[in-house]
C-alpha cells in the first residue's frame, strides 16, 4: 500500500467523530435495553471502540484528494463586466421640502 503525498489524512477528526459515534452507540444500547442506564463499563468500551474504528478508518480508508483552487478567469462572474466607477451621467439636484419650525418653548415661570 502506497501513501500519496497529495492525500491529506485527519486522525484527530476521526477520533472526535469516533467519540461521538461511541456515545451514540451507548445511547442506542440503552434505548434497546441492551445496557442498563448509568453503567460505566459499556460506555467506556463503546466509546473506545468507536474512537479506534474511526481513527483506523481516517488513516487507512479511502480519502478524497486535496481540493485544487479554482482556475482564475472561469465561473459565472468572469464574463460579466463589473463597472468600477459610478456612471458619469450627472443626477439632477435633489431639493428637500422646508420643515416647519416649532415655536420656542416657554421658559420656567418667574
User: In Å, what is the CA distance from 55 to each residue of 10, 18, 24, 63, 93?
Assistant: 8, 7, 17, 13, 68
Tens of pLDDT, residue by residue over 8-26, are: 788 898 999 999 999 999 9
pLDDT at position 93 is 84
Give the separation between CA 9 and CA 55, rounded to whole angstroms. 10
Averaged pLDDT score across all residues of the chain: 81
Residue with more model confidence, 11 or 79: 11
Q: Is pTM beyond 0.85 here? A: no
pLDDT at position 73 is 61
Please check the confidence at residue 1 and state whether its pLDDT lies above 60.
Answer: no
Tens of pLDDT, residue by residue over 42-71, are: 889 999 999 999 999 988 888 776 667 666
Amino acid at each position: 500500500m502506497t501513501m500519496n503525498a497529495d492525500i491529506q489524512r485527519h486522525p484527530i477528526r476521526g477520533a472526535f467523530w469516533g467519540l461521538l459515534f461511541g456515545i451514540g452507540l451507548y445511547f442506542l444500547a440503552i434505548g434497546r435495553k441492551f445496557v442498563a442506564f448509568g453503567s460505566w463499563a459499556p460506555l467506556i468500551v463503546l466509546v473506545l471502540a468507536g474512537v479506534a474504528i474511526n481513527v483506523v478508518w481516517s488513516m487507512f480508508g479511502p480519502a478524497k484528494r486535496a481540493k485544487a483552487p479554482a482556475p482564475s478567469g472561469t465561473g459565472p462572474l468572469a464574463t460579466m463586466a463589473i463597472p468600477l466607477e459610478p456612471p458619469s451621467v450627472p443626477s439632477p439636484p435633489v431639493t428637500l421640502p422646508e420643515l416647519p419650525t416649532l415655536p420656542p418653548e416657554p421658559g420656567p415661570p418667574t
